[in-house]
Amino acid sequence: MTKNDRLKFCLKWIEKLNGQYSDLDNDRAEAIRFCNGDPTIVEVVKGRSQVVTTDMQDAIDIAKPDILENIAV
């Protein structure tokens, strides 16, 4: 395999992996926005409340030490 062939092979796989993980990155960013109670997640619909809460983040923060302790032990 020549140097050019190896380079093409690597670039092909980099492109393939970026395509697969870009969806994952987008989904993760959206999940974090919901988890943190980002006000931008509330669509502006007439008559709909624009209040967001951080209940999800609070529950995660409470559970995280116990989960980490079970994993680390």
pLDDT, one tens digit per residue, over 21-70 is 888 888 888 888 877 777 777 766 666 667 777 887 888 889 999 989 99
Tell me which residue range forms the domain holding 52.
3-72
> For position 11, what pLDDT does the model report?
94
> For position 8, what pLDDT does the model report?
94
Total count of domains within the chain? 1
Distance CA 67, CA 60 (A): 10
> For position 45, what pLDDT does the model report?
60
Decide if 48 contacts 42 (C-beta within 8 A): yes
Kindly tell me if the per-residue pLDDT of 12 is higher than 90: yes
Pull the structure tokens for residue 23: 């969806």
How many Cα atoms occupy the beta-carbon half-sphere of 31 within 13 Å? 7
Decide if 37 contacts 58 (C-beta within 8 A): no
